[in-house]
Amino acid sequence: MKDIISIHREEYELGHGADEKIIVGEAPGCLHYLGDHGQLNDALYLSSSIDRTVQVAISLRKDSSLRFFSADVGERKRTTLANLRYKREDRWSNYVKAALYIFAEMGCKVRGINVTIFGNIPRNLPVSSSSAMEIASALALRRFFLSNMGDKELMNRLSAAHTAFFEGENKIIDYLCIMNAKRNHFLVVDEEKLNVTKIKNPFTKYKIMLYDSRVPMFDVEPELLLRRKDIEKGFDILSRKRQGFSFRDYTLSDLEDLMGSLNEETRRRSLFVVEEIMRIHEVEKALAEKDGDAFARAIYHSHEGLRDLFEVSCPETDWLVKRAQETQGILGSRLTGKGFGGCTYAVIRSDVVEEYEKKFEDYERIFGFHPVSYEITPSPAARVASN
């Protein structure tokens, strides 16, 4: 199997001269275990990287052309620096263009570039494949244009570029996870303070399994937007009655005392956010104390909150979590990602995996889908892999 540098040289007919240098950025995907439906820009997350990566090889051209090649799918895209903007038809190459946008906006003398992308991060799963592509691209480009730029500045600029480029919310939480990952460590990621606490995984006899429910996905953004508005409304009521900067400044008692006038949906969404923050602190303590029971309780309670309070689960993912809860040797299972289908994960003892997955025969009989499983291992952070 060819490595990405060989693929890149062959694709763009490059030699080995000094003016044909190739830089490769590499970044892992990441998985969020808790916190992925919190207050926008102020959330706490329990996350980790995964042992699936994307590599982005970049070399400079002598003209202003931008050439992109996805070795995974054998697809090519091209544009120019003068047309450095989002185009729907450019699909995956837009993420590289967003990274390039940073350096073009900073006035760097950007010429044309050749790009090759190669990776094994599963697509259409909640493991931040697009964020990994952006980070890998940004790291390689930084080596070419502004090697003295710090990681925090890079992430902030990339987040702003993503927001401007895609006209959507920022991805800095994913960038923090990908840039600060550590092998066999969970991460408590603070989106407000932009810091990361690394906690070694104490459950060495357990695997982290990601299960794709195979439920067909629809456009969930309108539903998620309604929930974000409920969260904003709930926080606005709380902060008008007692000053606070985020939901972290409030307790369950505050919700009971101050939110009697809110409608039921807003109350439930806000309650989920406050409880989720508490759960992340509980899990942080459980990991430090190697307390598997406390870890499992928090994870299961989080799924119950997603089901009953935030209402983004569905019968299929509920079934997968319920069967996990009934199986001895599983330290928690929960929906992850946007919801309304998608994936669950389970922290499962190695000798129990087969027993749990045997139950998927019933799942397929009831729902008509067969879950697809992926084993996840927290891996090292993003890096420049070669130059």
CB 240 within 8 A of CB 215: no
3-class state of residue 117 by DSSP: strand
- The answer to whether residues 211 and 192 belong to one domain is no
Neighbours of 164 (CB within 10 A): 15
- Please report whether residue 195 resides in a domain: yes
* Predicted pLDDT of residue 165: 87
Catalytic, 257? Answer: no
Q: Are residues 167 and 255 both part of a single domain?
A: no
Q: How far apart are CA 45 and CA 308, in angstroms?
A: 20
For residues 122 and 337, what is the distance between their CA atoms, to the nearest angstrom? 14
| Same domain as 161, residue 142 | yes
Quick one: 88 and 220 in the same domain?
no
Query: Is residue 25 one of the residues assigned to a domain?
Result: yes
Residue 233 lies in a domain: yes
Rounded Cα–Cα distance for residues 96 and 86 (Å):
10
Domain termination site, one of 171, 201, 231: 201
CATH, residue 292: 3.30.70.890
Distance, CA of 149 to CA of 103 (rounded, Å) = 11
Residue 1 CA to residue 283 CA, distance in Å, equals 41
| Domain stops at, among 166, 201, 236 | 201
Q: Are residues 168 and 286 in the same domain?
A: no
Residue 238 falls inside a structural domain: yes
Q: Are 197 and 223 in a shared domain?
A: no
Digit-by-digit pLDDT tens for the chain (387 residues) are: 479 999 999 999 987 775 679 999 999 999 999 999 999 888 899 999 999 999 999 999 989 899 999 999 999 999 998 888 999 899 999 999 999 999 998 989 888 999 999 999 988 899 999 999 999 999 999 999 988 999 999 999 999 999 988 887 778 999 999 999 999 999 999 998 999 999 999 999 999 999 999 999 888 999 999 999 999 999 998 898 888 899 999 999 888 877 667 788 999 999 999 999 999 999 999 999 999 999 999 999 999 999 999 999 999 999 999 999 999 999 999 999 999 999 999 999 999 999 999 999 999 999 999 999 999 999 999 999 866
Q: Do both 82 and 57 map to the same domain?
A: yes
pTM equals: 0.94
Alpha carbons within 13 angstroms on the beta-carbon side of residue 303 total 26
Q: Are residues 62 and 211 in the same domain?
A: no
Residue 386 lies in a domain: no
* Per-residue confidence (pLDDT) for residue 259, from 0 to 100: 64
Nearest-angstrom CA–CA distance, 53 and 128: 10
Give the list of residues 6+ apart from residue 31 with CB closer than 8 angstroms, or none. 47, 48, 49, 50, 126, 127, 128, 208, 210, 336, 345, 376
Q: What is the DSSP string of 52-77?
A: EEEEEEEEE-SSSEEEEEETTTTEEE
Q: What is the largest CA-CA distance in the chain?
A: 71
Last-in-domain residue among 163, 186, 201:
201
- Residue at 145 is within a domain: yes
User: How many domains is the chain partitioned into structurally?
Assistant: 2
Does 118 reside within a domain?
yes
**Cα gap 299→348, rounded to integer Å:** 13
Give me Rg for the CA atoms of the chain: 22
Please name the amino acid found at residue 222.
P
Specify whether 212 is located in the same domain as 188.
no
User: Coil, helix or strand for 215?
Assistant: coil
Q: How far apart are CA 153 and CA 131, in angstroms?
A: 16
Supply angle C-alpha 176, 227, 367, rounded to 5: 90
Q: Pull the structure tokens for residue 250.
A: 């409030």
153 and 234 both lie in a single domain: no
How far apart (Å, rounded) are the C-alpha atoms in residues 258 and 267? 10
CATH number at residue 171: 3.30.230.10
In whole angstroms, give the CA distance from residue 140 to residue 118.
14
Q: Is residue 387 part of a domain?
A: no
- The predicted pLDDT at position 241 comes to 82
Domain with 159, as residue range(s), is 4-201
Of the residues 36, 51, 90, 174, only one is catalytic, namely 174
Residues 334 and 351 in one domain: yes
- In a shared domain, residues 76 and 185: yes
